[in-house]
Amino acid sequence: MPEFRLTQISDTHLARRLTKLTDNFHRVSEYINATRPDLVINSGDVAFDGPTSRDDLEFAGTLHNALPVACRYLPGNHDIGDNPTKVGPPPSQPATEQGRQAFLSIFGEDRWRFEAAGWCLIGLNSLVMNTGLASEAEQFDWLASQLSSANGRPVALFLHKPLFLDSPDDPELAATSIRYVPMPARSRLVEMFGAVDLRLVASGHIHQRRDFTFGHVRHVWAPSAGFVISDAKQDVIGVKEVGLVEYRFQPEGFEVRHARAPGQIDVDLDSLLGAATKG
């Protein structure tokens, strides 16, 4: 395969009652239907509130199954619960094996590896990291065996949470620790991927578009496909807009294109929740 075209969507946060987010998903679906990539990846927060509402996961699953292109998924904190961190307060919905199993039953594997256009593409469940769940250790063992067979191929990593803000040595701060892969899992990942030709880390979760390079690795934060978070509730780090990201992988390199589906609207979380509460 000379070229592999991949579209990353993220943070769709689908729920039957949140029709503005469903509308944005339909605009994304139409765009995918028009552009026909080889694969769509949803990098997590597929559902609005999976840990509380299985119906949100099922609704999201139904909409994704209607896409005209094959799809792979990674869980987000709003799908299976969140990571505990060393410095922040305990999450109100910690990631659980039960939540993970619900995700698996609807979306399939929460970690995957495949090869395309000379690349090795790996997806990880970032929400089991630092939980102590059995699946956390299993995933690290699985990852070690996958990386040992990369055989010099360039590697692209997909996961819900970004690895870090600017650098692997960023301190973990109480106020922002839930934004990134928690320590010590972050250091372990950086060390493991340091042994292979890592070129790209693609994440979601922040609901801001960002694209920067650290060392030889490009870090792409996909925006939410569904909504943005107000400046009163969240720092401005990148660009607050809804959209998606398109990649073209070739044996000699890759291209990134930041895009928006025609008709996608920058729904604000505050207006969304207000509208939902009012009925």
Task: Considering the complex, state which of residue 12 and residue 146 has its C-beta at the smaller distance from Fe ion.
Answer: 12
Residue 275 beta carbon to Fe ion: minimum distance, rounded to whole angstroms: 18
Tokens read off for 228: 């943005």
Choose between 169 and 232: whose C-beta lies nearer to Fe ion. 232
Residue position matching structure tokens 């990942």? 189
User: What is the number of the residue whose Cβ is closest to Fe ion?
Assistant: 45
Which residues of the chain form contacts with Fe ion (CB under 5 A)? 11, 45, 76-77, 205
Smallest distance, Fe ion to C-beta of residue 29, A: 19
Least distance in angstroms from the C-beta of 93 to Fe ion: 11
**Strands of 244-250's sheet, edge to edge?**
71-73, 39-42, 4-9, 244-250, 253-259
Q: Could you tell me whether strands 267-268 and 154-158 are parallel, antiparallel, or unpaired per DSSP bridges? A: unpaired
Strand order in the sheet with 154-158: 112-116, 119-123, 154-158, 197-203, 217-221, 210-214
**229 close to 240: Cβ distance less than 8 angstroms:** yes
Rank residues 11 and 136 by Cβ distance to Fe ion and give the closer one. 11
- In whole angstroms, the minimum distance from the beta carbon of 154 to Fe ion comes to 27
CB closer to Fe ion, 154 vs 226: 226
Q: 116 exposed, middle or buried (CB, 10 Å; 0-12, 13-18, 19+)?
A: middle
Q: 170 in helix, strand or coil?
A: coil
In the complex, minimum distance from the CB of residue 254 to Fe ion, in angstroms, rounded to a whole number: 25
Nearer to Fe ion, 35 or 234 (CB): 234
